[in-house]
Chain A
Amino acid sequence: AQSVTQLDSQVPVFEEAPVELRCNYSSSVSVYLFWYVQYPNQGLQLLLKYLSGSTLVKGINGFEAEFNKSQTSFHLRKPSVHISDTAEYFCAVSEVDSNYQLIWGAGTKLIIKP
């Protein structure tokens, strides 16, 4: 993957409202796609990944993402957010025949408003 773009640096949303965090990538070959979450002062933890098959992927904590090959996107969604979802979310892409290198987006801070 040449690059990964997370257009929104911050997304504020009210508690129990739905949220979508956007991720777009540029690559001309098949890719693997990942979403990681980073809680304050912690390392990164995998939320979900897409390798192949169904384009709708479900992850932990009620998150899901949909792979759209034509739009080269992998947006993350949750129907109802909780205060505990406050964290930074990173999208990462790896080209299938690469040397396993992950290309990372800059991250999106999810801010939950009470």
Chain B
Amino acid sequence: EAGVVQSPRYKIIEKKQPVAFWCNPISGHNTLYWYLQNLGQGPELLIRYENEEAVDDSQLPKDRFSAERLKGVDSTLKIQPAELGDSAVYLCASSLGRPGDIQYFGAGTRLSVL
């Protein structure tokens, strides 16, 4: 069974440019999460979807970040425009969405903003 797939693995852009990350969750997982992970820190939740609905986006910087999960499967996270401080690893995870369920993570996208 395929795990959570993220692309690209690495992305280097100049500041003020747009960037997009893509995530394909495990089949049947209705809950999808986007996290940001800075070096030496734990993941920080950006947004959580249940099917196609964003049920927790309180930590998403909405002035420059946006996300969508059309049809409740794949998801895209976009930054426009990117800033130097956005350099980090962006992780996608999925789960069945029940209390105590395991979150399964993709390998992440490492973003470098120059």
Q: Is the CB of A107 within 8 A of B41?
A: yes
Tell me if B107 and A43 are in contact (CB < 8 A). yes
Q: A9-B40, A99-B55 are in contact. Are A45 and B105 (CB under 8 A)?
A: yes
Q: Which of B66-74, B76-84, B94-102 contacts A (4 or more CB under 8 A)?
A: B94-102
B4 touches A32 (CB 8 A): no
Residues of B within 8 A of A (CB): 4, 6, 31, 40-45, 48, 55-56, 91, 93, 95, 97, 99-108
| Given A4-B42, A92-B42, 16 new contacts (CB under 8 A) | A42-B107, A43-B4, A43-B91, A44-B43, A51-B100, A90-B43, A94-B99, A96-B100, A99-B56, A100-B99, A101-B56, A102-B45, A102-B103, A106-B42, A107-B40, A107-B42
Q: In the docked arrangement, what's the CA distance between A32 and B108, Å?
A: 25
CB of A91, distance to nearest CB on chain B (Å): 8
What are 16 residue pairs bridging A and B, where the CB atoms are less than 8 Å apart in the complex? A9-B40, A41-B107, A43-B105, A43-B106, A46-B102, A51-B100, A92-B42, A96-B99, A99-B55, A99-B56, A100-B31, A100-B99, A100-B101, A104-B42, A106-B42, A107-B40
- Contact status B31-A106, CB under 8 Å: no
- Cβ < 8 Å to B, chain A residues 42-93: 42-46, 49, 51, 90, 92
Kindly state the interface size class of chain A when it binds its partner: 20 to 34
Q: A101-B45, A107-B41 are in contact. Are A44 and B31 (CB under 8 A)?
A: no
For the complex, give the distance between the alpha carbons of A44 and B93 in Å.
9
Residue in A9, A42, A102, A105 whose Cβ sees the most chain B Cβ within 10 Å: A102
Measured CB to CB, the nearest residue on chain B to A107 is B42
How distant is the Cα of A101 from the Cα of B31 in the complex, in angstroms?
12
- Residue on B nearest A104 in the bound complex, by CB: B42
In the complex, the answer to whether A90 meets B42 with C-beta atoms within 8 Å is: yes
Chain A residues within 8 Å of B93, by CB: 43-44
Within 8 Å CB of B106, what residues of A?
Answer: 43
Tell me which residues across on chain A come within 8 A of B103, comparing CB atoms. Answer: 44, 46, 102
Complex: how many Å from CA A44 to CA B6?
Answer: 13
